[in-house]
Amino acid sequence: MSSCKMFNPCCSNFYKVLAVILAALLLLEYSFNLLVYHQKNIRFLNASVSSIFEPLLSADSEIFNAGLGNRTRGGVESAGNGTGMSNTRAVSVSSNKSLKLCPLMPPNLVGCRKVLQQVPSLEDIEKNFTHIMPGGRFKPKECLARHRVAILIPYRNRKEHLRVFLYNMHQFLPRQQIDYGIFVIEQEGNGKFNRAKLLNVGYLETQGLYDCFILHDVDLIPEDDRNLYTCPEQPRHMSVAMSTMNYT
């Protein structure tokens, strides 16, 4: 007969004490891991919030102080065209917290419109679009824009096209109630025009300030303001039919 069978009460108490000790050790380890994870999570959250708001708080101090017709080196998108989604979506901060989000469908769209083809002067552009902020930027005042859009234009030696483009775009984009900026990326010299590289430069210079990017050609102008310059979940081609090709 074994010793455990002879002293059954002692063996039973020994195993109970051992089980309690093991349970206490497991509980202590779980509590310690939970505390460490919670502290790391708080540090990560604080860092994320700082990285999100830092570019926004300094956005107004960026060198977007050029006139409507002036060139900006650094942003590109495509309406030859398509919408590209940014991999970061920063939270916008408004001084007027009573404003509501703009409606999903802007109420003041007119549909098909006449495109101005005459070349306006820079003075005419500035005179007719006083609501456009320095640097070719706009944001609605009556509501909070749902989309922040950077329109990137690769450019070289096409001043007349650029003036026509700016006049027509600033004429209808505010009706879409988006927060947008038009960035013209100019290539110097007489070498081969590198559209893709200019677009890359534009993206790098504007990333973090906008939700998505439209890669636009300077000679393509929408004829219908219901062609929304917004940020869909997937990239899209915005110019599927052109007048120069009989809309085919």
The residue segments making up the domain with residue 196 are 122-231
CATH number at residue 200: 3.90.550.10
State the pLDDT confidence band at 29, using cuts at 50, 70 and 90. Answer: confident
Percentage above 90 pLDDT, the chain: 50
Per-residue pLDDT tens digits for 57-83:
333 333 333 333 333 333 333 445 555
Per-residue pLDDT tens digits for 138-190:
999 999 999 999 999 999 999 999 999 999 999 999 999 999 999 999 999 99
In a domain, 212, yes or no: yes
In a domain, 238, yes or no: no
Mean pLDDT of 37-62: 37
In a domain, 58, yes or no: no
Bridging pattern class, strands 148-155 and 179-186: parallel
Higher pLDDT, 36 or 61: 36
Give residue 239's pLDDT.
Answer: 85
Is this model's pTM higher than 0.75 or not? no
In a domain, 175, yes or no: yes
Centroid of chain to Cα 22:
53
In a domain, 186, yes or no: yes
d(CA 165, CA 59): 25
Report the domain count for the chain.
1
In a domain, 239, yes or no: no
Residue type, position 24, single letter = A
d(CA 171, CA 186): 23
**Distances in Å between the alpha carbon of 84 and those of 103, 139, 174, 203, 237?**
22, 20, 20, 10, 9
In a domain, 115, yes or no: no
**Distances in Å between the alpha carbon of 10 and those of 19, 20, 134?**
14, 15, 87
